[in-house]
Amino acid sequence: MAQPIITVRQLSKTYRVPERDAGLLASIKSLARRTYNDVQAVRDINFSLEAGEIVGFIGPNGAGKTTTLKMLCGLLHPTSGEAEVAGYIPWQRSGVYLRRISMVMGNKSQMMWDIPPLDTFRVLGEIYHVPAAEFKQTLDELVELLDMGELLTRPVRNLSLGERMKCEMVAALIHRPSVLFLDEPTLGLDVSTQRRLRRFVADYNRRRGATVILTSHYMADVVELCPRVILIHQGSLLYDGALSGLVERLAPFKLIRLTLNQEQAPTIDGHLPPNVEVLERENGRLVLRAGRAETPAITSRLLDTLPVVDLVVEDPPIEAVIDQIYQEAKV
């Protein structure tokens, strides 16, 4: 088996956060004596990634995703534990290490506002010491993949959010990093731009064999891009594996959507199998929930006994599954 490119062992991070009550008196008191509260953002997480993997890092707000990414790209020192990325300890921030990674933060920009993107890219090329020929080749390739040639010479301040995010991607990849951290890269983008960026990340991963860790609250990003997900909640790792496995484990049921012949629909009540739950019912349309194992038997019984016009069996929406985990904090 190949050597993992990212190894994380018992990684923990505790923040010390100053605390005080609201009001003037409390603020005066805090001048004299500050009280602190320890907040454990990441607790003893373990995982490893093979080179070339795309992994979705999911969890609700405040779960510890960004803290983990910041430790992996060297911005934060862990409180305890170890991590190794591409053979380096990230928080030592060696120049060689920083040249091998890149991070895109959906809510932060590395573009210079007043000058065209091409100028920012050139500066980055110099900062990362990219040879001229390689710079041109990479830029052409990225610009073509993102179809953004016409944006290169317009000042960044005049670009839309989606156009700017395309620029952020190019800026992050101009030095051909082998590990890419994407922290909510599709934040606030319209669906078609989101889809375009997803395709781009997948293409880039295929072409360059880069390892990608992606955090996103849009499940479409995760479903389309990440064969594997790591789920963290309240700082702890809850699940590490295929997304489909998560759905099966969490939602041991299927949804059956039925459309019935309108005229006979009102008379169906006695014919529904006892082991289904009616989730929705409107005119002749029903949504039923049934146990995964019983679903085949139930569908054939429904087809036999009811005036079925249309029947669809599907997995519950991933959003519902994720919501369930976020609410219950367990897998």
Partner 1 sequence: MNHRGGWALVRSTWLSWMQHRSFFFVLAFGWMIPPLVYLLVWSTAAGSQAINGFTRGEFVAYYLVLILVNQLTYAQTNWTVGDVIREGKISQMLLYPMSPLYNTLSSEFAGKVVYMTFAVPVTAVLAVLLHPELHTTPGHVLAFIPALIFAWALRFFWGYWLALLAFWATRADALLAVQDTLVFLLAGQVAPTLLLPGALRGLANVLPFRYMVGFPVEVLTGQLNGSALWVGFAAQVGWLMIAVLLYKWMWRTGLRRYSAIGG
Counting contacts by CB under 8 A, is residue 238 touching partner 1?
A: no
Counting contacts by CB under 8 A, is residue 187 touching partner 1?
A: no
Counting contacts by CB under 8 A, is residue 110 touching partner 1?
A: yes
Counting contacts by CB under 8 A, is residue 119 touching partner 1?
A: yes
Counting contacts by CB under 8 A, is residue 115 touching partner 1?
A: yes
Neighbours of 131 (CB within 10 A): 9
Which of residues 41 and 142 has its CB atom nearest to partner 1 in the complex?
41
The footprint of partner 1 on residues 144-163 (CB under 8 A) is: 155
C-alpha distances (whole Å) from 87 to each of 16, 96, 130, 203, 227 are 30, 11, 21, 25, 24
- Residue 60 contacts residue 231 (beta carbons within 8 Å): no
Residue 104 is encoded by which pair of tokens?
């895109």
Provide the β-strand partners of residue 48.
7
CB of 93 to partner 1, least distance (A): 7
CB of 259 to partner 1, least distance (A): 52
Nearest to 156 by CA among 199, 204, 123: 123
CB of 123 to partner 1, least distance (A): 4
From the list 90-98, 135-143, 255-263, 298-306, the region that binds partner 1 by CB under 8 A is 90-98
Counting contacts by CB under 8 A, is residue 127 touching partner 1?
A: yes
Q: Give the span between the Cα atoms of 232 and 213, in whole angstroms.
A: 14
Counting contacts by CB under 8 A, is residue 86 touching partner 1?
A: no
Counting contacts by CB under 8 A, is residue 287 touching partner 1?
A: no
Helix axes 191-208, 161-173, angle to 10 degrees: 10
Q: Give the span between the Cα atoms of 32 and 136, in whole angstroms.
A: 58
Counting contacts by CB under 8 A, is residue 311 touching partner 1?
A: no
Task: For 195-243, give the secondary structure using H, E and C.
Answer: HHHHHHHHHHHHHHCCEEEEECCCHHHHHHHCCEEEEEECCEEEEEEEH
- Residue 84 contacts residue 10 (beta carbons within 8 Å): no
Counting contacts by CB under 8 A, is residue 108 touching partner 1?
A: yes
Site for partner 1 (CB under 8 A): which residue of 23, 95, 131, 270?
95
Q: Tell me the torsion sign for CA atoms 155, 159, 165, 167.
A: negative
CB of 104 to partner 1, least distance (A): 10
From the list 68-76, 140-148, 213-221, 264-272, the region that binds partner 1 by CB under 8 A is 68-76
Neighbours of 183 (CB within 10 A): 21
Site for partner 1 (CB under 8 A): which residue of 42, 58, 76, 246?
76
Counting contacts by CB under 8 A, is residue 128 touching partner 1?
A: yes
Pairing relationship of beta strands 54-58 and 285-291 according to DSSP bridges: unpaired
CB of 171 to partner 1, least distance (A): 10
Given the rule CB under 8 A, which residues bind partner 1?
15-16, 67, 70, 73-77, 91, 93, 95-96, 98-99, 101-103, 105, 108, 110, 112-115, 119-120, 122-123, 125-129, 155
